[in-house]
Amino acid sequence: MQWPEPCVFTVDLDAGRMAGPVHRYRKRLCDLQGLYADEAAFAALLAQQGQEVVYEVTDHRPSGEPGDLITGVTRMAPGKVGDEYFMTRGHMHAVADRPELYFGLKGHGLMVMESADGQTRTVEMAPQVVCYVPPLWIHRSVNTGTQDLVMLFCYPADAGQDYGIIERSNGLRTRIVDDGQGGWRIQANPGYAGRSAAQVLMLQGLLRQGGEAQP
């Protein structure tokens, strides 16, 4: 394996992006159908502001090799759909035992995490706060502030993302909503279906596809 050369990159804090020749994608409101609980509020906002960028990711991907690292920046606009704050889709890494590190650069928000067996953790993110997302934890960023939330992230290059894990459980166990006083509160998701014991073991790598436990 010919490993890449060392490199440096800078973060444009105002723009909330990594500068230079980076990979970039944006998620607009119209790309986020089905994410928010209040479907009527989503449809109304979609009609007015469907092209609004909810979040944008810029990252540096030296290679996809195990042992390499992807580093990037997520910028999320402030906003709500109904009373639910803007958030990312959320995922577990497709190679489930890959962790991730987040570092707050600007704004205020939350990292909502959920383990395969449905435990939840909610961590407040702000400038200079570091959040370690362990292997096997679903993670989703939420902007609870009034300005852009900008965070640096770094994770193993072979991790990939599994978005279906949240769809299959009808969302995460918790949602983050406005508490009516300018703050936030955690609300239970009544449609949450969770994951079976067999699915949890499978994610943990302890069960093969056919249901047979590994020696």
The nearer residue to Zn ion, 139 or 175, going by C-beta atoms, is 139
Distance separating alpha carbons of residues 38 and 42, to the nearest angstrom: 6
Closer to ligand S6P by Cβ: residue 53 or 207: 53
Of 57, 44, 71, 75, nearest to 143 (Cα)?
A: 75
Decide if 42 contacts 79 (C-beta within 8 A).
Answer: no
The Cα–Cα gap between 165 and 102 comes to 21
Q: Select the binding partner of residue 166 from ligand S6P, Zn ion, none (C-beta < 5 to 8 A, by kind).
A: none
Cα–Cα distance between 77 and 86 in angstroms, integer? 7
Min separation Cβ 149 and ligand S6P, Å: 10
Classify residue 119 as left (phi > 0), alpha (psi -120 to 50) or beta. Answer: beta
Minimum CB separation of residue 42 from ligand S6P in Å reads 17
Q: Which does 115 bind (CB under 5 to 8 A by kind): ligand S6P, Zn ion, none?
A: none
Is 49 or 161 the residue whose CB approaches ligand S6P more closely? 161
Residue 56 binding partner per list ligand S6P, Zn ion, none, with a CB distance cut-off of 5 to 8 Å that depends on partner kind: none
Which residues in this chain contact Zn ion in the complex, by CB under 5 A?
100
